Structure 1
Amino acid sequence: MAEVVFYEKPGCAGNARQKKLLEEAGHRLIVRDLLSTVWTDQTLRPFFGARPVAEWFNRSAPAVKSGAVDPDALGEDEALALLLADPLLIRRPLMRVGDQSVCGFDADMVDDWIGLARRPAGDIEGCPKPGMAPCPVPLRG
């Protein structure tokens, strides 16, 4: 099975469900805090591959939900600068296996990429319950 470097937002219920799926499949997780990692354009950009810029963003981030940030209106350089300045904007999780990096958790893609013991029904990226309060934002010091 794979060794997966898994960048999460601590306390996020969605990330907890994703990690459980990976562990059930026998993968070894190296869990890292997405928010406290010091990112550069060279370390962050590979996770997005050929995805359109709008798919780099966490649509549940407060700045996106409020309309302060419109992922559909951004170019690559501007988007990357915003993501580096505010990691809450980054679509999660970020995962790396060997030299391959991805963002987000599409169960079909992950299963095809490294294998899952089971493919869950429904959206595995969003909050587990509709109307659920946002995941806690850890204090950074």
Structure 2
Amino acid sequence: MAKVIFYEKPGCINNTRQKALLQAAGHLVEARNLLTENWTAERLRPFFGDLPVAEWFNPTAPAVQVGEVIPEQVDAATALTLMMANPLLIRRPLLRVGDRYLVGFNPEVVQAWIGLEAASPEQRAIRDHLMQQDLQTCPHNS
């Protein structure tokens, strides 16, 4: 079991599913509002690791959708500045376990990182149902 700090957009359908999947695996989830967090570049940068800067962005953010922000044309420092000013630009969720960080929710990556195995039959049923869902694409844009 891990204690997962889970930065989400409250009300996001997929963030709700992702948290339920983590909880079904026995993890303790501490949800925080990504949009009201007091982000600094130093606090935000570790979540992105070695990912290309374009993958730091939420592709469904309004500023990205209308072409105001073109993630492939932004450097790391500019990306962080934009994200601190407009947290909707940040790809969700952000996860922290101890001193390890992750952006986005790829079930295979999360499984390898902290595990998604459920112990009880009830938890396995929840997990199996959730794993059949698209946990990365915003259902409002599908």
Q: Normalized against structure 1, the TM-score is what? A: 0.88
Query: 2:26 aligned with 1:26, yes or no?
Result: yes
- The CA distance in 1 between the partners of 2:47 and 2:62, in whole Å, is 22
Query: 2:35 aligned with 1:35, yes or no?
Result: yes
Unaligned runs of 5+ in 1: 132-141
Tell me how far 1:128 sits from its aligned partner: 3.5
Q: Which has the higher helix share?
A: 2
After superposition, the C-alpha distances for 1:71-117 in whole angstroms (9 at most, x for unaligned) are: 01111111111111100000000000010011100110000000013
Tell me how far 1:129 sits from its aligned partner: 6.0
How many percent of aligned residue pairs carry the same amino acid? 54
Aligned length: 131
Query: 2:126 aligned with 1:124, yes or no?
Result: no
Q: Normalized against structure 2, the TM-score is what? A: 0.88
Detail structure 1 runs of 4+ shifted over 4 Å in the superposition. Answer: none
- The CA distance in 1 between the partners of 2:141 and 2:66, in whole Å, is 18
SS in 2 for 1:64: helix
Unaligned runs of 5+ in 2: 118-126
After superposition, the C-alpha distances for 1:120-140 in whole angstroms (9 at most, x for unaligned) are: 135311223655xxxxxxxxx
Counterpart residue type for residue 123 of structure 1: D
Alpha-carbon spacing, 1:86–1:130, altered in 2? closer, same or farther (3 Å): closer
Paired position in structure 2 for 1:100? 100
> Which has the larger Rg?
2
- The CA distance in 2 between the partners of 1:37 and 1:89, in whole Å, is 13
